[in-house]
Chains A and B, each alone.
Chain A
Amino acid sequence: GENVEQHPSTLSVQEGDSAVIKCTYSDSASNYFPWYKQELGKRPQLIIDIRSNVGEKKDQRIAVTLNKTAKHFSLHITETQPEDSAVYFCAASLRRQGGSEKLVFGKGTKLTVNP
């Protein structure tokens, strides 16, 4: 089955710096890669996603890149702000016929942005 590795497990940056979180996946057939942000005690919320037919996607200060050959994808946050502090999860999934979809998450990265 799919396995997703995420690094680093913790990341501390100064406000205004960039943050990069990297993930690798094992199933080359996976075709959907979302990123979720989870603040303490709250639900995970989708911040950006990318599909396997796209190499890069941007949304304001966040961007995601995908390298299908190497089976890895990364989240880039520029001009970090204290409110970016949270746990970030990457995930990978393969949508199969019949509606089957197993979204497998990495173990998360705790990002701390210091003012």
Chain B
Amino acid sequence: DSGVTQTPKHLITATGQRVTLRCSPRSGDLSVYWYQQSLDQGLQFLIQYYNGEERAKGNILERFSAQQFPDLHSELNLSSLELGDSALYFCASSVNRDNYNSPLHFGNGTRLTVT
């Protein structure tokens, strides 16, 4: 168990709908990262938050948004869903203190199916 908790595990919804994915980082980790993994695709970086503030952005669509709350949990909001948004969404966390890279620890993911 990585200590990173993601809910829900599975989500099935229709095109045009909006969903929220939730992530609780490991205790003590300040950074949260969101990744998208489509079928036969690698891990696409979406966004990073550090201690409540956005710190780095990847190829995140404008229909997607995220935030990190004061208790350090994070939510990824996906709106106007399209079939192509069907994927496994991973959250990861790291200590990320000082100027020292620390390993990312991944949650078990949320599998989103858009029908």
The interface of chain A, by Cβ under 8 A from chain B, is 31-32, 34, 36, 42-46, 49, 51, 89, 93, 95, 97-108
Contact = CB atoms under 8 A, between A and B. Distances in A.
Given A43-B90, A44-B90, A107-B41, A101 B101 contact: yes
B96 interface: yes
Contact of B31 (A51, A89, A101): A101
Given A102-B45, A106-B42, A107-B41, A34 B55 contact: no
Contacts, number: 68
Contacts of A44: 43, 90, 106
Interface in B72-112: 90, 94, 96, 99-101, 103-109
Contacts of A46: 103-105
A46 B4 CA distance: 14
B22 to A, nearest CB: 16
Contact of A103 (B2, B33, B53, B108): B33
Given A34-B103, A34-B104, A43-B2, A100 B48 contact: yes
B48 A43 contact: no
B56 interface: yes
